[in-house]
Chain A
Amino acid sequence: MSINNPKWVKTLLATIALVLVGALALRFVSVGSRNAAAPSAALAESTPVESPSRPSRMPLLNPNEQTDAEAGEADQPRIPREKVEEFLELRNRSAASLLAGFHALKDTNLLYEAAAKFPNDPQVQWTMLAQPLNPEDRREWLNRFKESSPENSLAYYLSAAEHFKSGQSDTAIKDLLAAGNKSQFKDYAMAAMLDEQELSRFAGLTPFETMQVNGWASDLLGELPPMKLVASSILEARTQYLQAGDPASADALLQAGLGLSDRLTEGEGGRFVISQLVGMAVENIMLKQMDANTRYDSLGGKTPTERQAELTQQKADFRTLTTSLTSAYAAMSESDWQSYSDRMKTYGEVEAMKWLQQLAATRAASGK
C-alpha cells in the first residue's frame, strides 16, 4: 500500500476523523457532566450561526450571498454550490433538500429559507432548535415543535430545558412530566444524515465520500446539551421538593430523569454513540440522588451502586470498542464501509462497530 494511493490517504483521514469524533464525543460528555448548568455555551461558541429571526419576519436572503457562517470557514464544502442549487431545483426546494444544502454548505440562508417556507415541518423545527436562538425565538420554535409533534416527547424535553434555563421551574416540570407520558422520542439526526448523503450522491461523491459527510452532526450536538440541562435542573427541583417535605414529587422527578436517560439510550434516540453517552451521564446524575445500597424496582432490582458500576463498565466497553477499531477502519474496503453504514442505519452505531470488530476478527482468523 503506497502513501501515494489516494484511497489509502482517504482511509487514513477517515480513521483520524472517526477517532477525533469519538474522542470529542467522550470529552463532550465529560465536560457536560461538569458544566451542566450552562451546557450550550461551548456549543454556541463553536457554532457561529447568527440567530435567525422569526420566519414571518424573515427576509429571503440571496442564496449566493456569503453568510457569516461561511466567512472564515476553514474547511471548504465538499459539494460545489452550483451542484447544491441543481439538487434544490430538482427537489423543488423541499424542506429536506434545503436542510441538506444548509448542512453541506453551512449556508444559513438555506436554513432560513426552509424556516420561512416550512415553519410547521418538524424536521425544520428541530434543526432551528439546534441553532443558538434568542429566548423569544426559541420559545416560538419550541411551541411550533410541540404543536406539530404532540406525541414526540423530545419537543417537551427541549421545552422543559428552556423553561429551566429561564427559571420557570414549575412550567418546566409540567413539560417534563408530559414528556414522560409520551411514547415517542424522535429526533431528526438520522433524517438529516440521509438527506445530506442523498445530496452527496447526487453531486457525484463516491460512496466512501458520501459516508464521511457530517454537516448534519452539528444539529445532533445541538440537541444534547438541553438534555443535560434538564438532568441537572431536575436535581435542583428535587432538592426543593425534599426541603418542602414532598418526597413523592421528588421521586416522580427522579423517575422522569431516569425516563429521559432511557430515551437517549434505547430505540431511535440511542442510535448514535454520543446520545448513548449523554443518556448514561443523565442516568448517573439520577443514581447519585438515590440511596446507594437500596434495591429499586425501577433499576431492575439493582442498587444504584451496582448500576453505576454497570455504566462505568459500559463506558469502558465503548472506549475499548473504539480503540480496537482503529486498525480495522484502515483495512476497510469501500464495500465494507457501505455495509458498516447499512448497519449503522439499521441498528445504530454501536451494533455497526461490533459488526466491524467481528469482521476484523474474522479476517485476522482467516489471514486475509
Chain B
Amino acid sequence: MNDTRRIKMLAVVAALVVLGTLVLRFAGSSSRPVTSDPSATAVTQSPAAHSTATAGQMPRPMPEEPVEAETDGEFQPRIPREKVEEFLQLRNRSAPSLLAGFHALKDTNLLYEAAAKFPNNPQVQWTMLAQQLNSEERRKWLDRFKQSSPDNSLANYLSAAEHFKSGKSEDAIKELLKASGKKQFKDYAMAAMLDEHELSRFASLTPMDAIGWESSVSKSRPLLKMVANGIVEARTQYLQTGDAQSANTLLQAGLDLAGRVTEGESGRFLSSHMLGRTIEAIMLRQLEPDTHYDFLGGKTPTERLAELKQQARDDQALVASVRSSYGTLAEADCQSYYDRMKTYGDVEAMKWLQQLATNRTAPGK
C-alpha cells in the first residue's frame, strides 16, 4: 500500500471514528425530550429562501456566476471542482449528479440548481428538507415531497415533525396517522451515497473518499426524533383529557415509526438502528414498565428496554472490534466491505469484516 493510499485509509478511519462517536452520542442524548426549538441554530441564510421559485426559475445564481458556497470553514473537497463540472456535463446536469456534486464539494449552488431544475424530484426534495429552511420554505418542500411520493410515509412523518414544531399538534397527529397507513418508508440516503460513489469513481477516487452524503443523513434524522417527542407531549395531553384510546393510538404510531426506521432500505445504516432504538425507548418509557403487552411480543417495557440496551452494546462492541481492521483492509477487501454494506447494511458488513479478521488471525495465518 503506497503512502497516499495509507493516508486516505487513515483519513477514513478517523472519519469513521468521529462519525461513530457522534452517532453514539446522538443516540445517548436522544432520550431527552427536545425542549428548545431546533431552528434556533439554523443558518440565517436559508437555502430555501432562494427556492421559492417554481420549476424552471433559478433560485440562485448559476455556477457561471458563483456565489460564496455555504461550506464549513476548513472543508477541503477531495474531488477537484473541474472534475465535478466534467461529471455534471457528462450527466447532463441531472438531479442525482447535481446532488452528488453538492455533497462532494458542499457547494450549495449545486443544490439550489437541482432544486430549481427538479423541484418535483423526491431525492431533491429529501435533500432540501435535510437543510436548514425557514418554516414557510420547509412547508413548501414538504408539500412537494408529499405530492411526489404519496405512498412514502416518510413525507408524512417529516410533515408531522414540522407541525409539532410549530405547535399544530392536531395537524401533526393527522399526518402521523396517515403515515401509519402507508407501507413504504423511503429515504434517499443510500441513493445519495451511490451517486457520490459514482462521482468519486469518475474522479479516480475510491468510495471511501465519498462522505459528503452523510451530512444530509445526519441532518435529516433528528426530525424523526422530534416526531417521537411530539408524540409523547400529545399523548400526555390526551391522557389528561381522559382519552386513553387516542393516547394508545399515538403510542402505536410511535412504535410503528421506530420499526420503519430500522427496516428496509433505511435500516441498512447503523445510525438508523440507533435512531429506531431511541424512538422505541421514548415510547416504551410511556408504558407501565412491568406490564406484559401483546404488541411487545408479550414482553414488559422493562424487558424490551433491556433488549434495546443490549443491542446498543452489541453494536458498540462490533464497531470497536472492527475499528482496527479498517486500516489494514486491502483495496479488494474494501470493495467487498462496501458491496456487503450496499447489499445488507452496515451491521452485516461489519460482521463480515469481523469474521475476515478472525480468519486472518487463525493459527497459521
Contacts and interface: CB of A to CB of B under 8 A. Distances in A.
Interface of A: 90-92, 94, 190, 194, 197-198, 201-202, 207, 335, 338-339, 342-343, 345-346, 358-359, 362-363, 365-366, 368
6 contacts: A90-B360, A194-B340, A342-B198, A345-B343, A346-B342, A368-B89
Nearest to A91: B359
B359 A92 contact: yes
Main DSSP-derived SS at the B contact region: helix
B182 to A, nearest CB: 14
B336 interface: yes
Contacts of B359: 90-92, 94
A366 B89 contact: yes
Contact of B92 (A90, A342, A345, A365): A365
Nearest to B339: A194
Interface in B319-345: 332, 335-336, 339-340, 342-343
Interface of B: 89-92, 94, 190, 194, 197-198, 201-202, 265, 332, 335-336, 339-340, 342-343, 355-356, 359-360, 362, 365
The 5 closest A-B pairs by CB, nearest first: A201-B332, A366-B92, A92-B359, A345-B343, A198-B336
Contact of A362 (B94, B202, B336): B94
A137 to B, nearest CB: 28
Contact of A202 (B332, B339, B342): B332
A197 B360 contact: no
A24 to B, nearest CB: 24
B283 to A, nearest CB: 21
Nearest to A210: B335
Contact of B336 (A197, A207, A363): A197
B332 A335 contact: no
A190 B356 CA distance: 18
Contact of A342 (B89, B94, B197): B197
B190 A346 contact: yes
Contacts of B265: 346
A365 B89 CA distance: 11
B339 A345 contact: yes
Contacts of A90: 359-360, 365
B194 A343 contact: yes
B339 A362 contact: no
A198 B332 contact: yes
A104 to B, nearest CB: 15
A201 B198 CA distance: 19
